[in-house]
Structure 1
Amino acid sequence: MTFDPLQERGIALDAQIRDWRELAVDPIDPDRADPYTRCRIITMNGIEMESIWFSHHMARHCPDMDVKRQLARMRAVESQQQKAVNWLLPGVASVLETTIAYEQVAVDLTAWVARMEPDPYLKQAYEFGVLEDFDHLYRYANLYEMIEHRKAEEIVDGLTEVMPGRPTRYHHRDPADNVRDPYDRGRTDPLSKMHALTIMSAEQQTMNFYNNVGPQYMEPIARQLYQEIGLIEEEHVTHYESLVDPGETWWEQLVNHEYNECYLYYSFMEQETDARVRAIWELHLNMELEQLRLACELMRRHEDRDPTEVLPERLPQPLKFEPNKAYVRELLDTQIDLTTLGAGYVREAHERFEAMQARLNGQATPPNEQVMERHQEMFGREYRLETEGEHPVASLRSRD
Structure 2
Amino acid sequence: MPFNPLEQRGIPLDRQLRNWRELNVTPIDPDHCDPYTRCRIITMNGIEVEAILFSHQFARHCKDPEVKRQLARTRYIESQQQKAVNWLLPGVSSVLETTLAYEQVAVDLTAWVARSEPDPYLKQAYQFGVLEDFDHLYRYANLYEMIEHRKAESVVDGLTEVMPGRPTRMHHRNPVDNVREPYDKARTDPLSKLHALTVMSAEQQTMNFYMNVGPTYMEPIARRLYQEIGLIEEEHVTHYESLVDPGETWWEQLVDHEYNECYLYHSFMEQESDPKVKAIWELHLNMELEHLHRACDLMRRHDERDPAEVLAPELPNVLTFEPNKTYLRELIADQLDLTTLGTGYVREAHERFQAMQEALHGDEAPPSDRVIAEHHQTFGREYRVQTEGDHPVPALRENS
TM-score computed with the length of structure 1 as normaliser: 0.98
Match of residue 187 from structure 2? 187
Offset of 1:363 from its aligned partner? Answer: 2.4
Is 1:49 paired with 2:64? no
Contact 2:48–2:78 (Cα < 8 Å) also in 1: yes
Taking the TM superposition and a 5 Å limit, the aligned residue runs for 1:150-161 are: 150-161=150-161
Offset of 1:394 from its aligned partner? Answer: 6.5
Q: What is the letter of the counterpart of residue 314 of structure 2?
A: R
Match of residue 332 from structure 1? 332
Contact 1:332–1:393 (Cα < 8 Å) also in 2: no
Offset of 1:303 from its aligned partner? Answer: 0.9
Q: Deviations over 1:343-400 (max 9, x none)?
A: 000001100000000001122110011100100010000001012x11233669xxxx
Contact 1:47–1:201 (Cα < 8 Å) also in 2: yes
Is 1:268 paired with 2:260? no
2:348 aligned counterpart, secondary structure: coil
Quote the Cα distance in structure 2 between the aligned partners of 1:78 and 1:8. 19
Quote the Cα distance in structure 2 between the aligned partners of 1:48 and 1:235. 21
1:6 aligned counterpart, secondary structure: helix
Match of residue 390 from structure 1? 389
Q: Deviations over 1:214-268 (max 9, x none)?
A: 0000000000000000000000000000000000000000000000000000000
Unaligned runs of 5+ in 1: none
1:256 aligned counterpart, secondary structure: helix
Quote the Cα distance in structure 1 between the aligned partners of 2:313 and 2:274. 31
Match of residue 320 from structure 1? 320
Match of residue 354 from structure 1? 354
Offset of 1:3 from its aligned partner? Answer: 1.4
2:349 aligned counterpart, secondary structure: coil
Taking the TM superposition and a 5 Å limit, the aligned residue runs for 1:144-293 are: 144-293=144-293
Taking the TM superposition and a 5 Å limit, the aligned residue runs for 1:3-18 are: 3-18=3-18
2:5 aligned counterpart, secondary structure: coil
Offset of 1:314 from its aligned partner? Answer: 1.7
Q: What is the letter of the counterpart of residue 109 of structure 1?
A: L
What's the Cα RMSD here?
0.8
Match of residue 364 from structure 1? 364
Taking the TM superposition and a 5 Å limit, the aligned residue runs for 1:87-166 are: 87-166=87-166
Question: Post-superposition, which runs of at least 4 consecutive aligned residues in structure 1 deviate over 2 A?
Answer: 391-396
Unaligned runs of 5+ in 2: 396-400
1:14 aligned counterpart, secondary structure: helix
Contact 1:207–1:234 (Cα < 8 Å) also in 2: yes
Offset of 1:331 from its aligned partner? Answer: 0.2
Q: What is the letter of the counterpart of residue 391 of structure 2?
A: P
Q: What is the letter of the counterpart of residue 296 of structure 2?
A: C
1:340 aligned counterpart, secondary structure: strand
Quote the Cα distance in structure 1 between the aligned partners of 2:392 and 2:284. 43
Q: What is the letter of the counterpart of residue 298 of structure 1?
A: L
Quote the Cα distance in structure 2 between the aligned partners of 1:325 and 1:297. 43
1:243 aligned counterpart, secondary structure: coil
Quote the Cα distance in structure 1 between the aligned partners of 2:389 and 2:81. 42
Identity value in percent: 77
TM-score computed with the length of structure 2 as normaliser: 0.98
Q: What is the letter of the counterpart of residue 306 of structure 1?
A: D
Q: Deviations over 1:105-163 (max 9, x none)?
A: 00000000000000000000000000000000000000000000000000000000000
Quote the Cα distance in structure 1 between the aligned partners of 2:364 and 2:391. 29
Quote the Cα distance in structure 1 between the aligned partners of 2:52 and 2:72. 10
Q: What is the letter of the counterpart of residue 150 of structure 1?
A: R
